[in-house]
Amino acid sequence: MIFSVPVFISLYLSLTQAHVLPEQVILKCETSDSQLYSQESRDPMSISRTGNDVSQVSFLDRYFGQSFLDMGSMTVATKATNKKAPLPLSNSLHSLMMNDDYEYPDKDDLRDINGTSTLYRGGEFGGINTFAHVPYANCYDPELFDKETFDIAIVGAPFDSGVSYRPGARFGPSGIRMGSRRLAPAYSVYRKGFDPYSNWAKIVDCGDPPVTPLDNRIALDQIYRANRAIGQHRTTKSNKSKAPKIFTLGGDHTITLPAIKAAFENFGPITVIHFDSHLDTWNPYYFGGNVTDYQSVNHGTYLHWAHEKGLLTNSSIHAAIRGPYPGPRDVKHDIDCGFDRILARDIDTIGTKGVIERIRKRVGENSAVYITVDVDSMDPANTPASGTVEPGGWTSRELLTILDGLEGLNIVGGDVVEVSPPFDTVAELTSITAAQVADSIISLMILKDEDAHKEPEDEDDN
């Protein structure tokens, strides 16, 4: 039920007058509506308040009455009712609340406009819509490969021509960026003193390369060449990595194939941690390829092709698997592609800790790891806007906990995919959750090398 301000005030006043407090202490507005809005008192700043050293009435007084803001009366009332007294406001804050006056910045002062000042809230709605408000960079100009340096690049892949059920993932990169509006420099409550956006790594958003919706072969090649171009940039001086690490915002899951191909060229054979409700190592003959060769590369076969092209190690793993598969041959083929499987319901018996242990044991501590997350690994209650939903998935909290448990692995790339904003809720549940998943994986990339970039502590500080 929604109340307008006048109705809320009337309701509040009627309740306070109907229930007499102990010792007959009643909070009342000392200035009547007739005084506030009389012909002689139209200027609200000319009205004096009784019993207060502030001679000006604020907009809060006019809307809510003195009973909401008179600290003296509130203190008396709380003493009478044996309740804990409210925290006193500082003089400056009290004056600000009680005064309509505002000293505007100089007309040439643009610090809050250009982002160098955080005096006002609202930065999440300003600037270019990049992921988590990181700087935009032109990553595709060969003349800038040696000049534009960064450590982690975020890139969108607006592609959904490889889906077998619901389309719309071409809008995923935009949706995930919108879902990341509230991500900004801030300390994690789970990792003491860690802030991924004010750390050693320079993070940029490269935007989305043009991806044709008319021919999958051309589109996937465009995504590969875009990632390859990003990989030719130099990292910052403090980074010893061979190339910037890339995180991709999908797009349907087919986009993982060109992303892995580009990562392989910089980091060698890739070990994949694949969060998904489906295997995605399907033999193309049984999943599209029996129709035409053109259809053999899709969001259910890309890991098959990554293995066939020699891009993967034999120590990869799936997690959250629960989608049905036609027969035993699919599991055998999955094993041949170098994958082990953690089923969605395994978490009920081994918990998140057991899932983490199995993943770490499988992939090893020194492999070049690529983490790919299909949002259908989570339950549709958390991420309804997936291309191929499967009930019975993990919660977003479970997935984020598992991701945090992979700290220390050598994460060289990653993606979050299959976000289809047209099917999302008005609350943007899927986009916001996907943005948080991206934030977690990017944090893993930074944490791996954080100790090497920490400044030595001053002995005088101990």
Task: Kindly list the strands in the beta sheet with 245-250, ordered across the sheet, starting from the edge strand earlier in the chain.
Answer: 203-205, 152-157, 245-250, 411-417, 368-374, 270-275, 316-321, 339-343
Instruction: Report the C-alpha gap between 8 and 63 in whole angstroms.
Output: 10
Angle between helices 396-404 and 347-363 (to 10 degrees): 30
Instruction: Report the C-alpha gap between 18 and 272 in whole angstroms.
Output: 66
pTM of the model: 0.78
* pLDDT at residue 450 tops 80: no
pLDDT at 416: 99
What is the three-class DSSP state of 85?
A: coil
Per-residue pLDDT tens for 300-331?
899 999 999 999 999 999 999 999 887 789 99
What confidence category does residue 56 fall into, taking pLDDT thresholds of 50, 70 and 90? low
Q: Please state the rounded mean pLDDT for residues 194-223.
A: 94
Backbone angles phi, psi at 275, to 5 degrees: -90, 115
Per-residue pLDDT tens for 268-278?
999 999 999 99
> Is-cis flag, bond preceding 175, omega within 30?
no
What confidence category does residue 428 fall into, taking pLDDT thresholds of 50, 70 and 90? very high
Nearest to 321 by CA among 359, 288, 278: 278
* pLDDT at residue 19 tops 50: no
* pLDDT at residue 74 tops 50: no
pLDDT at 78: 47
The gap from C-alpha 66 to its chain's centroid, in whole angstroms, comes to 41
pLDDT at 48: 42
What is the three-class DSSP state of 248?
A: strand
Question: CA–CA distance from 94 to each of 1, 88, 270 (Å)?
Answer: 31, 9, 59
What confidence category does residue 71 fall into, taking pLDDT thresholds of 50, 70 and 90? very low
Instruction: Enter the DSSP assignment of 452.
Output: H
Q: Please state the rounded mean pLDDT for residues 78-103.
A: 57
Beta-carbon contacts of 128 under 8 Å, excluding residues fewer than 6 positions away, are 136
pLDDT at 243: 93
Instruction: Report the C-alpha gap between 178 and 130 in whole angstroms.
Output: 8
- Which amino acid is it at 65? G
Nearest to 102 by CA among 45, 49, 47: 45
Is 66 buried (19+), middle (13-18) or exposed (0-12) by CB count in 10 A? buried
Contact 138/97 with Cβ under 8 angstroms?
no
What confidence category does residue 374 fall into, taking pLDDT thresholds of 50, 70 and 90? very high
Instruction: Report the C-alpha gap between 305 and 194 in whole angstroms.
Output: 38
Q: How far apart are the first and last CA of the chain?
A: 55
Nearest to 62 by CA among 78, 77, 49: 49
Q: Which pair of tokens denotes residue 168? A: 């719309």
Domain boundaries, the chain: 5-97, 131-453
Instruction: Report the C-alpha gap between 8 and 11 in whole angstroms.
Output: 5
Which CATH architecture group holds 131-453?
3-Layer(aba) Sandwich (3.40)
* pLDDT at residue 36 tops 50: no
* pLDDT at residue 227 tops 80: yes
- Which amino acid is it at 317? I
Sign of the alpha-carbon torsion through 129, 209, 156, 166: positive
Is 129 buried (19+), middle (13-18) or exposed (0-12) by CB count in 10 A? middle
Percent of the chain residues topping a pLDDT of 90: 58
* pLDDT at residue 238 tops 50: yes
Instruction: Enter the DSSP assignment of 151.
Output: S
- Which amino acid is it at 407? E
Per-residue pLDDT tens for 126-178?
788 999 999 999 999 999 998 999 999 999 999 999 898 899 999 999 999 99
What is the three-class DSSP state of 56?
A: coil
Q: Please state the rounded mean pLDDT for residues 342-365.
A: 98
- Radius of gyration over alpha carbons of the chain, in Å? 29
Indicate the Cα dihedral angle 376, 380, 384, 389, nearest 10°: 50
pLDDT at 45: 41
